[in-house]
Structure 1
Amino acid sequence: MEYLKMLKHTMETLVDVHKRLLDLVREKQHILIKGDTNDLQNMVNRESLFVVEIQKLEKKRNLLVQEFLEQKGVKGSSFPLEEIIKMEDDTDTNATIIIIAKQLRILIQEITQINESNQQLILTSLSYVQYSMGMLVLKEPAIGYGPNAVNRYSNLLDAKV
């Protein structure tokens, strides 16, 4: 039972971190629209700190699940959350864990959708930059040795003396 309470606490912390990450991702979207590269770099650095924190919490969650399964004498490395909860009789903790898991799934979906939107903003911005650079840079004629090749400069040996 202790493992499930610790799992519940870890998942609550995961939800909290994901909520903060969601706020950050939304803020990042506004920065992308504004086009401020300094703020964007700062945002990416902050985002990576959240990712590290989430990875640590995920490791802790996986470890708790493994220990819980070992305590119950169950062999295997991965089970759906619903099956793990069925192994314990504490209905309050079980119900809370299910609610937390749903919140976590919803948060992850929102973060994914906003990140996909941000990716489209970045791709649009990059294509605009490429287009602008193409307008500013003169295109060099192709150089080659084929029958259509153009000699761009005269050679000293080709000059009449």
Structure 2
Amino acid sequence: MESLNKLIQTLEEMTDAHSRLLVLAEEKRTILVEGNIKELQSLINRESSCVEEIERLEQKRTELVQVYIAQKGLTGQSFTLEELINSQNDATTKTTLDYITKQLRGLVQKITQLNESNQQLIHASLSYVQYSMGMLVRKEPAIGYGPYAKNRYSNMLDAKI
């Protein structure tokens, strides 16, 4: 029973970490819209540490599930949370695990949606930057050699004032 309590505690910690990651993803969206690069770098660092914490908790969760499975005498390489919930006899434990599972799934789904949206914002920004750079730089290199070589295209950087 102790391993199950530790597992529940770890799942709650994972829920907290995912909640923090969701807040960071929402902040990232705002920063991307504003185009604040310094703040984006700071946020990415905070996001990385949060992801590292989630990975650490996931490893701990996996180990606790294996210990619990061994204590219960159940067979199998890995158990999903659904299988773990269904193996419970205690209604309170079952309800607690089910609640935490739904919270985690909801958080992961929201984070995924925000990350996809943020990725689209980044792609749009990159497209704009590429377009802007295309306006400023030569589109085609000079053809030929010597004094008779001419540029076929001009650009804003080549313009004489």
Q: TM-score, normalised by structure 1?
A: 0.86
Q: Which amino acid aligns with 1:54?
A: I
* 1:76-106: CA deviation from partner (whole Å, max 9, x where unpaired): 2212222223333221111111110000000
The aligned residue for residue 96 of structure 1 is: 96
The aligned residue for residue 19 of structure 1 is: 19
- Unpaired segments of 5 or more residues in structure 1? 144-150, 156-161
- Work out the percentage of aligned pairs sharing the same amino acid: 55
RMSD: 1.6
Q: Which amino acid aligns with 1:132?
A: S
CA distance in 1, matches of 2:138, 2:13: 55
Q: Which amino acid aligns with 1:109?
A: Q
State the shift of 1:141 in Å: 3.8
Q: Which has the higher contact order (CA 8 A, sep 6+)?
A: 1
CA distance in 1, matches of 2:94, 2:138: 67
The aligned residue for residue 158 of structure 1 is: none
Q: TM-score, normalised by structure 2?
A: 0.86
- Unpaired segments of 5 or more residues in structure 2? 149-161
The aligned residue for residue 35 of structure 1 is: 35
* 8 Å Cα contact 1:5-1:93 kept in structure 2: no
CA distance in 1, matches of 2:77, 2:39: 42
Runs of 4+ in 1 over 6 A off after TM superposition: none
Larger Rg: 1
* 1:6-55: CA deviation from partner (whole Å, max 9, x where unpaired): 11111111111111111111011000000011000000000000000000
How many aligned residue pairs are there?
148
